[in-house]
Each structure stands twice: as structure tokens, then as C-alpha cells.
Structure 1
Amino acid sequence: MPSGFGGTELYGCEMNEGKAPADLMSVVDEWNSWSDEKGMNDYYAWVLTPVFGSDINFERTAFWFGFTPDFKAMGKTLDAWFTEGAELNAKYNEVWTCSAHMEFASLIVRGGGGESSSGYASFSDCTFREGMEMEDLMAAQAKYNAYLDEQEVPSVTVYHLPGHGNPQDAGYQMKISNWVSDLSTYGENSEKYVNQGGWKVQQDTVGSVISCDSPRMYTATLVRSGD
């Protein structure tokens, strides 16, 4: 698990008319070769497509989620992209149109010790309850993690603190994402949460510090593993 915050960039996009995921992955293959040439060995990327959500185009909506273990690596990646990636960017723009590019400081607070992989990710927007702050949240997360360990719940939890590009009128102070390897694992985790008392433990720990909205779930396809 990283000892500190890493850098995250998130593009919000829609596939162009007549384009399909296969068209996107064709460009991704070219971008991966280009990234190898540029020595982007610390950059991880997933393409997110919706599974559960509302007011969203399930056929065309997609997100690019890029992560580096530290901000120095993210700066190197962005510098290469914005100074030398124009040709590839044009190819991406032929496939999809992106209307948002947001930056986050991301901290892995549970899991993350294994190899990165494809899976499913749920995101919630959260705010601190009155009088609460980050130290309170970290202490509550530690208690909740202990319970999850006892229940052998396999998941990765990440805090995302907003930086550049987030809406000026955003109603959140942070985003929280939870990652699982497959939907069967998600179902097992949900059974423990809903029917075996997990919700009460969450409410008494993390839920006493922050309030979060209804989560959205996405398929998370790993397209670069940072190696």
C-alpha cells in the first residue's frame, strides 16, 4: 500500500456516433507503445463504463481513470502528453469526446497490495459531518478495516481529494471508490454488508464521520499496468 497520496486524472467522455469500445482499444494499443517509448513506467490506467447509474448514457459514456503512485510521476506523464501527444490525442478525439478532465489526490486506505487488474469500481461523493476532519476519518477507516479483515472481505478502498478541474459548485469534499475483482465478489461482500450486519459497523465507523451519496458502479478495464 502506498505510504502517501498519489496522483489521479479522470476524463469524462462519450463515445462518438458509430464508434465502439474496439475502436477505443485500438488507439489505446498505440498509446501504450508510445507510453513505453516515453518511459511511463509508473502510470496505471483503466477505462470505466457504467454498470449501475442514473441519468447516464449506458451505450456511450466512458471515463479514463489514470493513477500514479506519486505526483512527480503524474507530472512527467502530463508533460509528455501535452507536449508530444497531439497526434495520438487527435486519434482519441475521433473515437470519443471528453467534456471534463479532473485531478485528484488519491490515497489507498484499504487493500492495494496485489497486482493491479481489471474489475469493478464504485464511486460515491462524500462530505464531512460537522466538526469532523481527515484525522477522524482515518481513525474510523482503521476500525472499519479491522472488521472487514475479520469478515475476509476482499476489496480496495481509495479516497480521492479534488484538485484542478473539479466543478466549482461541487457538492462534495471528496470521492471514495471501492474496487472488487468481479461481480460474484461484489455479491458476497454485499451479503455480508446488508444481511450480516456490515451496514451497522460502517454506520458506526466511517459513516459517523462522512456522509456519502448513492454509489455508481463501473466496469474497470485495466489498459496500462504501470510496468
Structure 2
Amino acid sequence: MKNTFKTLLALGVVGVLHTQPVVADHHMPSGFGGTELYGCEMNEGKAPADLMSVVGEWNNWSDEKEMNDYYAWVLTPVFGSDINFERTAFWFGFTPDFKAMGKTLDAWFTEGAELNAKFNEVWTCSAHMEFASLIVRGGGGESSSGYASFSDCTFREGMEMEDLMAAQAKYNAYLDEQEVPSVTVYHLPGHGNPQDAGYQMKISNWVSDLSTYGENSEKYVNQGGWKVQQDTIGSVVSCDSPRMYTATLVRSGD
């Protein structure tokens, strides 16, 4: 794949998606995983079906290379602005640790040229970025497709990660009481992020379907959830307006 700077900023974040709980010890993080993101636009005359055809070949290749710890999704916009809804698409991959990501990248850049050319016939990508991603809510379930909202965030003066983790624990307790099914992931920028990005981290929230999103929103907007969020997470970080995307699972590790 080639490396969309503007398109990637519209996405705002990449993360790992599990639509059911993904951390077994009651929402406590198990460690950072490696994430890569390509921001792309479909080439003229190409459609998602063309992309999925190449993805099928890539999956076979990945099986041959024993990429058993690599998960991948294709994202397309649902809510956003200044974005081409018909042609914008994103690829992101996740591995549970950085060693597995290094192995995956090594195989791709040394042996994936032929497949890379096929991807480039379908879409043009102008950004490739990495993140360290930490699941802070959710855990234990199978990876799947779903919907995700992303925000760019900065720490308020005097606040740091330790404060955010404490606030997240309090907010998680409230979400548990309200029986809100969702996954939350923190993303710390690595290579490829724009030098003038204006964010210190990204936060993503994932749900399995839009009906669940609607139920969660009802509790947040009309039943006081916004106030709890403001008093916990919002007291530590300031985040911009979220964007929502579909997330289609195209590889689920082993």
C-alpha cells in the first residue's frame, strides 16, 4: 500500500475493535498493542468489492506467512465532515504486542510487493501511521465488525496518564451500573503522525451495531451520562468532536 494525510486526519484515530468485552480482569488494561493505519481513497471506477477481492488474496498470503497475531479492519465513514463518503476508506491492523507487529511489517515490506501493487490498483493511500493502543474498557470477546467513534484529545494543564486511568476507572464503574456495552481504547501516536497534529492522544469507543449506539446515546444524552463523563474523563482531557465509522473485520488473527 502507498502512504491520506488529509484523509487520515479526518479519521482521527485507529484502534483495536472488539465488540464484546476484551479484557478479562474487569476493564483493567493488559498492555499496549501495536497499531498501523493507512488512510486511503478508492481509485476512479473502483468499488469496495474490488478491495475485498484483493483482501482475499492478502489473507491467503498472510496465512502462508503465519501472521496469526494480526487483526485488520476496513473503515468507512458514517458521520463526519470534509470527507468523501463514497471513496474514503481506511485500513488498520493491530497486534497484541509490538514484536508481532514488527514481524508483520517485515514480511510485508520484504515480500509483499506483488500484493502491494494490487492494492494500489484499487485505492491510493497517502498516510501510514503507527500507534500504541491500550484497551481500557471491554475484554474477552471475539473480534468482529461494528461501529467506532474517534476523538483527538489533549491533557488539561497539570494532568497526565495516571490521572486519566483513575478517571477511566470511575467512568467504567458508572457504565457498568448502567449496563452500557462498549469498548474504549487509548491510542498514543508513534511514527508517521503529523508533527503539527495538535493532539497528544486519541480515544476511540466501539459498539457492535447502531441500535446499541442509540441505546448508549439515550443514557448519555437524556439520562445524565454526559455529566458523569464530564466529571471524570472530561476533567482530565479535552477532546474534539467525534467521527463515526463502520469497521469491517477482514482478518481475525488465527
Could you say which residue in structure 2 is the equivalent of 1:45? 72
Distance 2:164 2:120 in 1: 39
Shift of 1:149: 0.5
Distance 2:150 2:92 in 1: 12
Q: Secondary structure at the match of 2:174?
A: helix
Q: CA contact under 8 A between 1:2 and 1:69: conserved in structure 2? A: no
Question: Are 1:75 and 2:75 counterparts?
Answer: no
Q: CA contact under 8 A between 1:127 and 1:211: conserved in structure 2? A: yes
Shift of 1:3: 1.1
Distance 1:93 1:2 in 2: 36
Shift of 1:2: 5.7
Q: CA contact under 8 A between 1:120 and 1:179: conserved in structure 2? A: yes
Q: Secondary structure at the match of 2:132?
A: strand
Q: CA contact under 8 A between 1:7 and 1:105: conserved in structure 2? A: yes
Deviations 1:124-180 (A, max 9, x none): 000000000000000000000000001000000000000000001001001111110
Runs of 5+ unmatched residues, structure 2 = 1-27
Distance 2:210 2:139 in 1: 18
Q: CA contact under 8 A between 1:38 and 1:80: conserved in structure 2? A: yes
Distance 1:2 1:118 in 2: 22
Shift of 1:34: 0.3
Shift of 1:113: 1.6
Distance 1:212 1:45 in 2: 26
Distance 1:116 1:89 in 2: 25
Distance 2:241 2:93 in 1: 23
Structure 1 stretches of 4+ moved >2 Å: none
Distance 2:203 2:37 in 1: 14
Q: CA RMSD in A?
A: 0.7
Question: Are 1:174 and 2:174 counterparts?
Answer: no
Q: Secondary structure at the match of 2:66?
A: coil
Distance 1:192 1:22 in 2: 37
Distance 1:2 1:36 in 2: 29
Shift of 1:112: 2.7
Distance 1:156 1:10 in 2: 19
* TM-score, reference length from structure 2: 0.89
Q: Secondary structure at the match of 1:94?
A: helix
Distance 2:246 2:217 in 1: 17
Deviations 1:12-58 (A, max 9, x none): 00000000000000000000000000000000000000000000000
Distance 1:175 1:112 in 2: 19
Could you say which residue in structure 1 is the equivalent of 2:181? 154
Q: CA contact under 8 A between 1:159 and 1:176: conserved in structure 2? A: yes
Q: CA contact under 8 A between 1:11 and 1:98: conserved in structure 2? A: yes
Identity over aligned residues, as a percent? 97
